[in-house]
Structure 1
Amino acid sequence: MKRPKKETLVHVEPLEVSSKAVLFDQITDWLRSNGTNLLYGGAILVAGLILITQWTARSEKGQIADYMQAPAAYERFASGEAPFDEVRKTLLSSPSLEQKYSPLIAQTLLLKGQGQEAAPFSNQALNTLTREQIPAYESFTKNTLLIAEGKLTEALYGSKQLQQSLNPYESSLSVANSLRIIGLYHALGDSAAEKEEIARLLEANKGVDAPKALRALLAETRIGSTNLESYLNARLAS
């Protein structure tokens, strides 16, 4: 089996989402900025965690200093300036800080290739999803963790099951999941299935009734000097 080209992991700025109402818009913006990495690089491992970073800051008596220090502490950790053990106490000093930073910590550890260390924080994010009863995002995130563990066949099966439960290409989540399926087929060396999924996605983008989320992502996501639609057309023809 032909091994997929190894991609360089990059630091991806985390999203902080304060309400479900703005979630899709922020996901769309993130996808437009990180299309290449979502398809074939390290960011495919963390998209699910980024999707569910939903938090509203709450002041707690005696914790004001940690709230003020937490953003800078996380940035030092994410940039590689400080090890996690050095900032752990600040980032996890209260339940609300733990809820906010657990997905971001998992994101950063996954990008650094530390999947085992990321697992407890990924599980915390999944527990949040379960409590908030967001099954589609929970499923997307579980598939993310399967990818992080190298279980690509299981992740592909889960992603296909999720896609069947969504309105095709009507939301950024559905489009992101379709791109993930394409990336997984590519990583598994199944060129025929990859092209079939690409063709299905491009066909859905034809005509005036094409879903807005799909049309925007294909037109505005940049892959080098071209957009995602042209890139996928080139892969389909290869």
Structure 2
Amino acid sequence: MQFTSTKLPYWAAIEAQIAAQLPAIDALAEAFPALSTKDQSFAESLLRASKKGPLSEKQMHWVGVLTQRATSPVAVKERVDLSRVVNLFTQAGRAGLKNPSIRIGGVKLSPAKVGSANYGSVYVKAGSTYLGKISGAGDWSPARDAGQAAADAFAKVQKFACDPVSAASAEGHATGDCCFCGKELSDAGSIAVGYGPICAENYGLPHSPAGRGLKVSVSEAQDEDYNEAEDGYGAEERAVSAAEQNISF
């Protein structure tokens, strides 16, 4: 009598499934060193499980996600020095600002709160969307799954860090608002410089003193000269009148 084993087709299917998953498993193993510590722990459990048999559909999904995180260009820290941005916030803290922030091209930079796990870092957001952070050492870490938005934010932050004075000035000229406090630029000097004198002092940046000496038109200059002359004439007239009445000021 001849017996036919019903287990052979089952094991053949298992072996075929393992073989189909092997390229993805190998890719994760190769990308493993580029993962964060937390992701490495998860990846290690998946790699161990793959040695015991085929992974489930959900497990294979995470194999792909982790591999993509490790190999995606935005998943790797950009080794560009952004310490000038950190230094600006350090200066603002010394000046006594409680909630300093910088707005550049639609993104907002603000320091992590005292006592938080990321204290010393600078957060980068677009509205309420977190795009990444700048470490205290000036390194850029993009947010996971932020994709192109994080890359665009990094480009703006990098440009600002290269020349904060010029970038802040350009932002003010483009929007009409100070990029530091967000207020509208109304003083002639602030409009010319691109940011306000108080913010300049708080962040340690150069600025003309409160807009004095910066005239936006000849007529305004003439009006100011006339007012000063009129004030001088009034003072002289009062002095003469007081002398005549033997009154001292």
TM-score, normalising length: structure 1: 0.25
Higher relative contact order (CA 8 A, sep 6+): 1
More strand by share: 2
